[in-house]
Amino acid sequence: MRKFSTNWILITGIASVFITVATVLFVSIRQSQRVRDTTSQVDRTERILRQVQKLIVTSLDNETGARGFVLTGREKYLEPLRNSVTAFQTDISDLEKLVAGNSLQGQLMDSLKTTISRRIAFSDSMVLLRRQAGLEFTIDLIESGRGKYYTDEIRRIGNNMSNIVNQLLTERKAKNERTITNLNIILYSILAVVALMSIHILRRIKRDIDQQKTNEEKFSALLDAAPDATVIVDSSGIIQMINLQTENLFGYSRAEMLGQPVEILIPRELRLKHVQHRGDFMKSAKVRAMGAGIELNAVKKGGMTFPVEISLSPIGTKEGVLVSASVRDITLRKNLENELKKMNSELEAFTYSVSHDLRAPLRGIIGFTVVLEEDYGSKLDDEARRITGIIKANTLKMGHLVDDLLAFSRMGRQELLKTTVSMAGIVIEIVNDIKGSGNNQQIEWNIGALADVNADISTIRQVWINLISNAVKYSGSKENPRIDIGYNHQEGMYVFYVKDNGVGFDNRYKDKLFRVFQRLHSAEEFEGTGVGLALVEKIVSRHGGNVWAEGEVGRGASFYFSLPAD
């Protein structure tokens, strides 16, 4: 079953009201017109009836005047006769106007006019005969009944005309009553429909109000259940809604915060600047972390400041854009980070100290071994010389390890001086140096386009040196060694890669590659200290990127590192 929205129902209700008003107006106009028409017809009928009666009376006057003159011979009786002729002309003209447009009435009117003319002519003939022949001859004309016939015929035609008019009036009244009844039925039906719709609309609005209230209660409950303090402000920075965690975190009650500028939660010295930042954010509001890369602080009711982490989310509403700010107290995390930094600093200092202090004894061992071989070489047999060679080789290896540890330790303390770095220039320079050594001329190099980055050139150079050197080392035993170097752009990061078709490694152990002293091949197979890739990981991490690798035994390895594109 289709569900209609509240807006649709309201629009339908308003339209129904307009339709109802228009219908009532139409019915009222029609009924008023019907009443006016009926009143006009009643008036017209009454006028016709009066005119017919006047004609009948006039015909009687005509007959009476003629008879009075015939019987008495006195001229005074001719006055009603003459007046009736004039009245006949006037009354006939008025009656013709009243019955105009009705064919049946027109026919009766023609008969009436003819009969009246004959009535007048008969009366005139009676008067003339009385004057010329006397009473005796005129009595026969009166007794013939022709005059009475004409008078009765006028009365009969007039009555027929009255009956027709009354019948038409009765039919019109009945038709009007039916029309009014039908219009009332339509009106009452529409009113009933509108009443039912109004009841439905009111029930629907009440249900929607209840639903909205329930949703608001659910929203408030969800807001209070959120783990972080949530502050919702309008485009002017006025606090519109908070949750329970906000009260607990800042120490204000809900009543104290609602309607206040959000700057009350910000240290006093930063409030003016925050107003400007808030205005800039509202111009292009989007979900993001606030103050990325900056340490943010908030202030409690009592004035105590504390470190926070804030995420902003715009909310579009009919009243405008609201902004939801999730605020998390990171005091504990900051304390842990500071402790960790202190421990790392102490560990790096210890590593540097130990590595630096080992260099002198190692130089001493090599020096004494060389003196032993040079000064007492004639007294040493082959086994002794083999042992001294092992001592020197292992001591040199330990020296390289100490150098790598020192480099690794310095990386944690070294300041990064970032500038625009041409990755292509660094790679080509390193590859040319390798080619110039004369031992790796058979390698097939496939170097693609490389993007420039914002980085510390010396440390990034070390990344490329370590990765390319590894590729050369582990592919040197292949019959047709090949190394591919390139990059691609992924979600705001440049991802660079170095791929070879060398001995590869077991992909199950790829996470161990970037740990200090972790090696997947023995020192007899490939020389190395196990620190190079750990140094790569540390350099890339300090630049805000990541490193990872993929490999397959006997089929080569691929090393990747990402750096921010911005």
- Which range, of 11-15, 173-177, 241-245, 546-550, averages the lowest pLDDT? 11-15
- Which range, of 165-179, 385-399, 487-501, averages the lowest pLDDT? 385-399
For residue 344, the model assigns a pLDDT of 65
| Percent of the chain residues topping a pLDDT of 70 | 75
Residue 430 amino acid letter: I
Q: Is the pLDDT of residue 504 over 70?
A: yes
pLDDT per residue as tens digits for the range 181-225: 777 787 777 777 777 877 877 787 778 787 777 776 676 677 666
3-state secondary structure 27-84: HHHHHHHHHHHHHHHHHHHHHHHHHHHHHHHHHHHHHHHHHHHHHHCCHHHHHHHHHH
To 5 degrees, how large is the angle CA 317–CA 321–CA 326?
105
CA-CA distance, 96 to 94, in Å (whole number)? 5
Among 436, 509, 437, 448, residue whose Cα is nearest residue 484:
448
Return the H-helix or E-strand segment holding 510. Answer: none
Q: What is the per-residue DSSP string for 348-369?
A: HHHHHHHHHHHHHHHHHHHHHH
Average pLDDT rounded to a whole number, residues 232-247:
84
Q: Is the pLDDT of residue 335 over 60?
A: yes
CA-CA distance, 213 to 219, in Å (whole number)? 10
pTM of the predicted protein model = 0.39
Q: What is the per-residue DSSP string for 460-481?
A: HHHHHHHHHHHHHHHHTTSSS-
Instruction: State the pLDDT confidence band at 520, using cuts at 50, 70 and 90.
Output: very low
How far from 312 is each of 282, 286, 295, 558, CA to CA, in Å? Answer: 11, 8, 16, 39
Which has more pLDDT, 383 or 32? Answer: 383
Which has more pLDDT, 518 or 243? Answer: 243
Domain architecture of the chain: domains with CATH? 6-200 (1.20.120.1730), 227-329 (3.30.450.20), 331-413 (1.10.287), 415-566 (3.30.565.10)
For residue 452, the model assigns a pLDDT of 92
For residue 562, the model assigns a pLDDT of 92
For residue 496, the model assigns a pLDDT of 94
Instruction: State the pLDDT confidence band at 495, using cuts at 50, 70 and 90.
Output: very high
CA-CA distance, 22 to 318, in Å (whole number)? 33
Question: What is the chain's mean pLDDT, rounded?
Answer: 76
Which has more pLDDT, 294 or 491? Answer: 491
pLDDT per residue as tens digits for the range 245-264: 888 888 888 888 888 888 88
Rounded to the nearest angstrom, the gap between the alpha carbon of residue 387 and the centroid of all alpha carbons in its chain is 82
CA-CA distance, 483 to 110, in Å (whole number)? 126
Residue 153 amino acid letter: E
Q: What is the per-residue DSSP string for 430-466?
A: HHHHHHHTSS-TT-EEEE-----EEEEHHHHHHHHHH
| Length of the chain (residues) | 566
For residue 234, the model assigns a pLDDT of 84
Instruction: State the pLDDT confidence band at 484, using cuts at 50, 70 and 90.
Output: very high
Average pLDDT rounded to a whole number, residues 163-178:
77
Contacts of 254 (CB under 8 A, 6+ apart): 242, 247
Average pLDDT rounded to a whole number, residues 123-136:
79
For residue 77, the model assigns a pLDDT of 75
For residue 28, the model assigns a pLDDT of 65
Average pLDDT rounded to a whole number, residues 57-68:
78
| Percent of the chain residues topping a pLDDT of 90 | 5
For residue 1, the model assigns a pLDDT of 39
Q: Is the pLDDT of residue 328 over 50?
A: yes
For residue 313, the model assigns a pLDDT of 81
For residue 523, the model assigns a pLDDT of 45
The segment with the largest mean pLDDT, out of 65-69, 101-105, 383-387, 443-447, is 443-447
Q: Is the pLDDT of residue 301 over 80?
A: yes
For residue 248, the model assigns a pLDDT of 85
Sheet holding 482-490, edge to edge: 444-447, 482-490, 493-500, 557-564, 547-551
Average pLDDT rounded to a whole number, residues 501-524:
63
Which has more pLDDT, 408 or 485? Answer: 485
Which has more pLDDT, 49 or 286? Answer: 49
Q: Is the pLDDT of residue 147 over 70?
A: yes
For residue 509, the model assigns a pLDDT of 64
Q: Is the pLDDT of residue 497 over 90?
A: yes
pLDDT per residue as tens digits for the range 103-113: 777 788 788 78
